[in-house]
Structure 1
Amino acid sequence: MLESYSSSAYFGQSNISEQPTAASPRILLVEDDALLNDQLTALLTKQQYQVTNLNCGALALSTLSQHQFDLVILDINLPEVDGFGLLNYIRAHSTTPVIMLTAFGAEEHRIRGLQYGADDYISKPCNFTEVSLRIEAILRRSGFNANTTSSRYLEHRELKLDRHEYEVTVDGCRKVTLTPIQFKLLWTLVQNHGSVQSKPYLYQMVLEREFSPYDRSLDMHLSRIRKSLVNLGMPQDRIQTMHGKGYIVR
């Protein structure tokens, strides 16, 4: 049974500044894990993509024969028609970019997917920042600008982030402009709010270098971000340090 999630229903209690427009990239997500399907649909819709989400390979095949998409995200183990079958169909009829979802450590699936023409793969369980960055990179290579107004803002509780201006607004009225590195760090944490982001991962994603336990750069950036935002009214415990693990935005 296909489960359908409308963006307006799913985000009834979330802060979304804009709805997808006709110019927003169209993404087909095919994933039969209901929880992951929900989570990815939420993430993509919040970033203003037009999302069609399915949980059945046969239904996806029918949909692909009738509609065009700017990106397809495929799980491999799907009922009726698996991800490789769908990938073969896509490659026979279009040049639409495809990202494969593979189980962690499933090297043979990744190799096979790339051999069949997949553009990229993401290992499950997924890190949502990695998912976002990989999607943006592929769409950018396909001619879409990732930094359009459709993905300009990110909101969580009292915070609103503007990625064009590197600006953060607290409670809708008090603003601060961060450095590009500080903004990238905060965006990554807010985008993954409720989930601890490890220091090694943040070093790679934000500072673009390997983590060293003797390097305090990330701690200093985080300290300055927290101080600036607390001075504007953000609660002290909104950004928390999880000792030995990393950071989390609550």
Structure 2
Amino acid sequence: MNAKVELGRFTGGERDGLHWQRGQPLQVLLIEDDSDVSTLISKALIKHGYQVDLCEDGEAGLLAALTGRYQIILLDVMLPSLDGLSLLSRLRSGGKETPVILLSVLGEEQDRINGFHSGADDYLPKPFSLQELQLRIEVLLKRCYAKSAIDDLSSITEDPLKLCRKDKRVEVKIEENKWQSVETTPVEFELLWQLLKSKEDVLSRPYLYQVVLNRAFSRYDRSLDMHISNLRQKLKQCLPYEGLIKTIRGQGYRYR
């Protein structure tokens, strides 16, 4: 299956049984009680080809979200009648896996952690630029809906690395047509696989905890940092001048 995201349009792909025809406009549910904010967001997204429905309180937003007809939900945290975190928890407990970006004036680390624990896919503190919101939507759509197409691959080659999923083998190109094997643990291999297949994206620490370590993120848990450090050291032995895994301060990690 081939899948990609263009501005405002989804061209193939699926998540949790949801399907779209090629070129079908993306349906966005915006749950936001501030009319000034919702107007700005709606106009920007409609300009880029999205179809946007607006709900101004939590109860109405939950009913709309449970229909499952939206490809992405933008959810304010502080809402009347039902707050955003409670709405999200009820949505997830109802079996709906629609990607959700939380929007909130509460931008401290613990607020973000609470959001991810509730089932958010991304968290964007207010105030934010409309351009950043647009980019985060595109990254999230690509990550969620095009994921199955990438996971069908048995290997990834991204110079100077080659990964084979079946036997969890990592090879490094040290010269033209000359490769050297790098011994990695299963966790290190999975970290590198996730980074390479999303090489244009920054992967957050909560996301990597979920997909690689299979547990929720905790700011007191430094195990991910340890695995990243060990992986960097192993790659550096073969490629001393290459910094392949980048730390993006306050965001996460990215390949190159």
TM-score (norm 1): 0.50
Deviation at 1:217, TM superposition (A): 0.7
Residue in 2 that maps onto 1:223: 229
**Match of residue 23, structure 2, among 44, 54, 72:** 54
Local SS of the residue matching 2:254: strand
Given that 2:163 and 2:169 are in contact with CA atoms closer than 8 Å, whether structure 1 keeps it comes out as: yes
**Is structure 2 residue 81 aligned with structure 1 residue 121?**
no
Partner Cα distance (1:221, 1:102) in 2? 32
Given that 2:27 and 2:69 are in contact with CA atoms closer than 8 Å, whether structure 1 keeps it comes out as: no
**Match of residue 202, structure 1, among 208, 217, 221:** 208
Call closer, same or farther: CA 1:100–1:187 in 2, change over 3 Å.
farther
Encode CA deviations 1:26-67: one digit per residue, 9 max, x unaligned.
77x8x7xx3364xx76x97xxxxxx984246xxxxxxxxxxx
Given that 1:194 and 1:248 are in contact with CA atoms closer than 8 Å, whether structure 2 keeps it comes out as: yes
Call closer, same or farther: CA 1:36–1:232 in 2, change over 3 Å.
farther
Partner Cα distance (1:201, 1:220) in 2? 16
Call closer, same or farther: CA 1:129–1:26 in 2, change over 3 Å.
closer
Residue in 2 that maps onto 1:103: 73
Partner Cα distance (1:237, 1:220) in 2? 17
**Is structure 2 residue 155 aligned with structure 1 residue 178?**
no
**Match of residue 160, structure 1, among 155, 159, 162:** 162
Match runs of 1:62-73 below 5 Å: none
Given that 2:203 and 2:252 are in contact with CA atoms closer than 8 Å, whether structure 1 keeps it comes out as: yes
For structure 2, the residue ranges without an aligned partner over 5 or more in a row are 14-19, 29-45, 53-67, 77-83, 102-136
Deviation at 1:218, TM superposition (A): 0.6
Letter in 1 for 2:74: F
Moved more, 229-238 or 159-168: 229-238
Given that 1:101 and 1:123 are in contact with CA atoms closer than 8 Å, whether structure 2 keeps it comes out as: no
TM-score (norm 2): 0.49
Partner Cα distance (1:221, 1:177) in 2? 13
Residue in 1 that maps onto 2:58: none
Post-superposition, which runs of at least 4 consecutive aligned residues in structure 1 deviate over 4 A? none
Partner Cα distance (2:69, 2:162) in 1? 30
Call closer, same or farther: CA 1:120–1:199 in 2, change over 3 Å.
closer
Letter in 2 for 1:76: Q
Letter in 2 for 1:242: I
